[in-house]
Amino acid sequence: MADPDSHLHADAVEPPASNSSDKATLVGTLVHLWPFIWPGDRADLKMRVVWSVVLLLIAKVATLSVPFTFKWAIDALNGVGSAPVEPSNWALWLIASPLLMTISYGAIRVLMAVLTQWRDGIFARVAMHALRKLAYITFVHMH
């Protein structure tokens, strides 16, 4: 025979449909995970999040500068006045400017990779802390 209170247990386990669809959005997920990303009791993890965001912004600025280095190299080869090296110095303009811009392109690409790896390394402790807390909450909930 079925337990008369079985419908109460089923309702308690399954959240309402509107609540689950609210959490399925990007903002809902961020709001739900925010205490794990920005833990109130861990100032060291908060600083890691701040530094990760700073490194992310610097990497994005470096990414945005890559097309400009290409433009400056092409302008230097064409002799257009927007190149960083003035075309009045013939030898410097012909040799140094395109080489300089090509080298700066490579340096910026390396800088982007270094900043990305550095950011991931700094944020790893925050991610592992959040993962441990979520795993513990899930374990306690299941048992």
Q: Which amino acid is at 62?
A: A
**Amino acid 32: pLDDT:** 83
Residues 30 and 60 in one domain: no
Number of domains in the chain: 2
Residues 33 and 47 in one domain: no
User: What is the number of residues in the chain?
Assistant: 143
Residues 26 and 80 in one domain: no
Residues 83 and 100 in one domain: yes
Q: What gap in Å lies between CA 21 and CA 15, rounded to an integer?
A: 10
User: Which residue range is the domain that position 85 belongs to?
Assistant: 40-142
Q: Which two tokens stand for residue 76?
A: 């230097």
Residues 93 and 107 in one domain: yes
Residues 31 and 68 in one domain: no
Q: What gap in Å lies between CA 129 and CA 116, rounded to an integer?
A: 20
For 4-45, what is each residue's pLDDT tens digit?
444 444 444 444 445 555 557 888 888 888 888 888 888 888
Q: What gap in Å lies between CA 115 and CA 52, rounded to an integer?
A: 9
Q: Which two tokens stand for residue 122?
A: 């700094």
Q: Which two tokens stand for residue 23?
A: 């959490």
**Amino acid 36: pLDDT:** 83
**Amino acid 93: pLDDT:** 59
Residues 24 and 94 in one domain: no
Terminal CA-to-CA distance of the chain, rounded, Å? 26
Q: Which two tokens stand for residue 128?
A: 């592992």
Residues 129 and 104 in one domain: yes
**Amino acid 13: pLDDT:** 43
**Amino acid 21: pLDDT:** 59
Q: What gap in Å lies between CA 139 and CA 142, rounded to an integer?
A: 5
Contact 67, 32 (CB under 8 A): no
Residues 19 and 51 in one domain: no
| Ranges of residues in the chain whose predicted pLDDT is under 50 | 1-17
**Amino acid 63: pLDDT:** 85
**Amino acid 47: pLDDT:** 92
